[in-house]
Amino acid sequence: MNLQETVLMQMRDLILRGEFGPGQRLAEQQLAQRLGASRTPVRAALVTLEQECLVQTSESGGYQVRQFTPREVADAIAVRGHLEGMAARLVAEHGVSRQLQLDLQSCLDEGDRLLNTKKLTHEIYAEYAAMNDRFHDGILQASGNSALIRAVALNNKLPFAPASATLPMLSTHVQDHDWMRYAHRQHHMLLEALKRGEGARSQALAIEHTEVAQINMRAALAQRAQSAPQLPAIRLVVGG
| Most trustworthy range by pLDDT among 50-64, 137-151, 205-219, 226-240 | 137-151
Residues 159 and 12: beta-carbon distance below 8 Å: no
User: Residue 35 corresponds to which amino acid?
Assistant: L
Residue 240 pLDDT grade (very low, low, confident, very high; cuts 50, 70, 90): low
78 and 181 inside one domain: yes
pTM: 0.83
What is the pLDDT at residue 59? Answer: 82
Query: In this structure, which long-range contacts are made by residues 169-174, counting pairs with CB atoms below 8 Å and at least 24 apart in sequence?
Result: 169/13, 169/16, 169/17, 169/216, 169/220, 169/223, 169/238, 170/9, 170/13, 170/120, 170/122, 170/125, 170/238, 172/119
Domain assignment of residue 240, yes or no: no
What's the helix, strand, coil split of the chain in %, to 5? 70, 5, 30
Do 11 and 119 fall into the same domain? no
- pLDDT tens readout for residues 125-158: 889 989 999 999 999 999 999 999 999 999 998 8
Order of strands across the sheet that contains 63-65: 25-26, 63-65, 55-57
Statement to judge: residues 52 and 121 lie in one domain:
no
Neighbouring C-beta atoms of residue 203, cutoff 10 Å: 24
CATH code at position 26: 1.10.10.10
CA dihedral sign of residues 187, 193, 196, 199: negative
* Distance between CA atoms of residues 18 and 180, nearest Å: 22
| 91-115 pLDDT per residue, tens | 999 999 999 999 999 999 999 999 9
Boundary of a domain, candidates 27, 44, 65: 65
Report the C-alpha gap between 67 and 223 in whole angstroms: 18
Q: Which domain holds residue 51?
A: 3-65
Q: What are phi and psi of 72, to 5 degrees?
A: -60, -45
Q: Which residue has better confidence, 163 or 240?
A: 163
Query: Tens digits of per-residue pLDDT, 10-25?
Result: 888 788 777 887 888 9
Residue 184's Cβ-side half-sphere holds a number of Cα atoms within 13 Å equal to 24
Q: What is the CATH number of the domain that holds 158?
A: 1.20.120.530
Instruction: Answer yes or no: do 89 and 139 share one domain.
Output: yes
Same domain, 81 and 200: yes
Q: How many domains does the chain have?
A: 2
Higher per-residue pLDDT: 238 or 60: 60
* 17/97 same-domain check: no
* Single-letter amino acid code for the residue at 210: T
93 plus 40 within the same structural domain? no
